[in-house]
Structure formats: structure tokens, C-alpha cells
A = this chain, B = another copy of it.
Amino acid sequence: MKRTSRDIRTANRYEVLRQIIAESPTSRQELAAATGLSLATVATLVGELLDLGMITEVGFEDSAGGRPRGLVAVNASGGALIGVDIAETYVHVELFDLALNVLARADEDMRPGESRPEQVVGHVAAAVGSVVAQAGVEAARVLGVGVSVPGQVDRDTGVAEYAPNWDWHDVPLLDLLAEHIAYPLYLDNPLRACAVAELWFGAARGRGDAVVVNLGTGVGAGLVLGGGLHRGVSNSAGEWGHTTLVLDGRLCHCGNHGCVETYVGAPGIMQNLRELSPRSPLLHPEDQTATIDALARAVAAEDPVALKAVRDTARYLGAGIADLVNLLNPEVVVLSSWVAARLGEPLLGEVRQAVARHALRRPLAATEIVLSPIPTDPVSLGAATFALEGALQSVGQRAVKRTQARSRTAPPS
């Protein structure tokens, strides 16, 4: 709530690092141009990041008659970040270097019924241990672990206030995890993880206002407003899946009827397909992933039923997204998560048309609708980004002293 001049610094630090990660190697000049900051400010921020070991100087640009520009790049091996994606049936963990390359993965399946917090924590601890061992990084170089857990989360206290899958209430998840994991921990939910991933590395980079529509088993919308994540007063903003799309429509597990989720979530898409063709061979009743995969393949083969199913889904989705466009007037709407990744361009095209039919002209003209450009799992990437943000947050004064030390020691060769 209260803004101080330090927040400006932190935001600029984020901005510079984002830019370096996006375009490595790069020069101070380019960074200044890209961020709009002065050269002097960029230079001090770059100095801080050099001191932290997050970036390194990697040589010089060829000059055409002048002092050559020094180039900096992400120091990939300068640290490791871990992203944990806890879902209903699995725990997926990835370890990233600072260039956000995946160095190691680990998965733990959870059987139905394995829903006690201690059990979940056990799986997470095992997977985290596994990725650290696989990647062979020293413990000291792990900058933090971001954890995404479905439902409502109090990120300050680290309490999972409510997780619908397992009917958790006020589980002190971060404290439980801290007993097994010695690295700094950051907790939030998958919606916001995806949004942050897009904000740092995806289609929302550099945009003031963006909506990240999450299409998975559940559905939600991560909101980027004013250049930062919008959390709402109790950190539960973005619950878009239970917006009423069809009055008295399909029954949703939330108890209402006609929620967006029941039409465009993976089970909803299966239902759309089933209503078109009850015995479609594409349907794998117990396996959402297999069904969506089959649907994607059938669309590629121009199967008419599959095309119609995607079009129907896009109609619902487009109507919902149009409402978001009208309400929030974002620069970009990003379709993210596994369903969007698999259905890809065919879905996107239909959605664009459907949105165009429903949205008002002016907001529509200002809004781009795109697929997430993030190739890996956005949830674990976003979770890792929370850890990265955490590591950058508290850079504070110490760095200044060390800047002096640096400039004394190693003049460029």
C-alpha cells in the first residue's frame, strides 16, 4: 500500500534483470534505451547485479570508432532457483539456472486420498532433494524455492488458507516445508505463478496491463495491472473460473451453474465434445490429458467433429475473454497452461473471432490476444520467479560497499 522510493529501485532492478535475461548478452546502453532509465542508473544497477553474481561481464561489442561497449550476460551458474508445482495428482519440481534453463526435473505422483499436508510436504521435499542432487548444485547456490499450491494462499504468513482439491483449511504449509527444506521459501498459487512467468519472460513483458488466462483442469485469470501483479485485498484476485457465463448452465463443483470453468476447463471441453458426439473415439473418459491430446491431433487432421468442438469451446472462451477485455482494457491477453499449449493456433484463431464478436470496438482494438510463448511448464517457472523476485528484493545497502570493492579489484582486461 505505502509506496516508497525504494520500491522504485526494486522495480527498476527487476526491469533491468528481466531485460538482461530476455536478451543476453546486452550492453548498458541497450539496457538504458530499453528501460528508459538513465545510463548512470543502469550502470549502478548492473553493478549491483554483478556483485550479486547474477550477471557477468562477457566481453565487448565490436566498435566502429569508439570505446567498445561492455557486454553483460546472465551468469547462468551464478545461482539456482527451484519451482514447485503442486497439483491435485502430482508434484512437479524443476530446478533452473539463472538464465531460467531447466537443469533438472522431478515428479512425484500422488494417489487419490494422499491428501494430508504432511504427505504432500513429503513429496515436495523428496522432489526438491532430487533436483538438487541431479543438478549437482551446491546448497549455498540455491537462491530460493517457489511453491505453487492451488487455492487461496496467504503469501506473507505462508498459510494455504483454502485448497479445494483436498479441502485444506489454513494449513501452515510454509512452516511444514521449512522443516524439510533449508532454502528460502515463497508460496503462492498457480494462477499468479503463470502471470508472473508471463510478466518476466512471456507475452506480458513490458506491458502495463495484461490478463493471463489459465486453461487447465481449472480455469483462472492472472491479472497484471499497472505493471505488477494484482493480488486483491486477500490475495485471491483472478478467480475467473467461476464467473457465470451461462445462467442456469452446467453444474459446477463450486455449487453454482454455468461457470466459465465448466465450459472451457479440460473437463468442460470434454463435455463439449461429448455433447457433439457422445461416442467420439477422441474421448478418454478418465484421462483429460489424453483427450485433449487426441483432440489436438484430430484438429490438425481437420477432423470436423474436433474442429467443431474447438469452435464451441472458443465461443464460450471468447465470450468470457471479451468481458475481461471490456472490463480491464488490457494490452494483451495471454492464453496459458497446458490446454492452451496443446490446442494452440486453432484455438487461438477461433477465440480471436469469438472475442471480436463480443467485445466493444475500442477496447478490442487496443488488445492483442496471443498464446503463451513459454515453452516449459509455466507454473514451475513462475514459482521459481517468485524465488528470483525474493532474492532481488532484499539487496539493500550491503551491495553498495561491495561495489567499491569490485571497482578496486578487477579492471577489465
Contact = CB atoms under 8 A, between A and B. Distances in A.
A365 B152 CA distance: 13
A363 B245 CA distance: 19
Contacts of A1: 208, 227
Interface string A290-330: 00000000000000000000000000000100111011111
A276 interface: no
A140 interface: no
Nearest to A36: B2
Interface residues on A, range: 35 or more
B5 A233 contact: no
A123 interface: no
B247 A319 contact: yes
A231 B331 CA distance: 12
Given A3-B8, A247-B249, A329 B236 contact: yes
Contacts of A245: 244, 247
Contacts of A256: 358
Contacts of A232: 209, 328-330, 363, 366
Contact of A230 (B5, B225, B243): B225
A246 interface: yes
B8 A240 contact: no
A17 to B, nearest CB: 17
A161 interface: yes
A-B pairs, top 9 by smallest CB distance, nearest first, are A232-B329, A237-B329, A234-B366, A239-B326, A243-B323, A233-B331, A246-B247, A152-B362, A236-B329
Interface of A: 1-5, 8, 11, 36, 152, 161-162, 208-209, 221, 223, 225-228, 230-240, 242-247, 249, 254, 256, 258, 319, 322-324, 326-331, 358, 360-363, 365-367
Given A239-B360, A242-B360, A247-B319, 16 more contacts: A2-B36, A3-B8, A4-B8, A162-B361, A209-B232, A209-B233, A223-B328, A233-B329, A236-B329, A236-B362, A237-B329, A244-B245, A244-B358, A245-B247, A247-B247, A327-B327
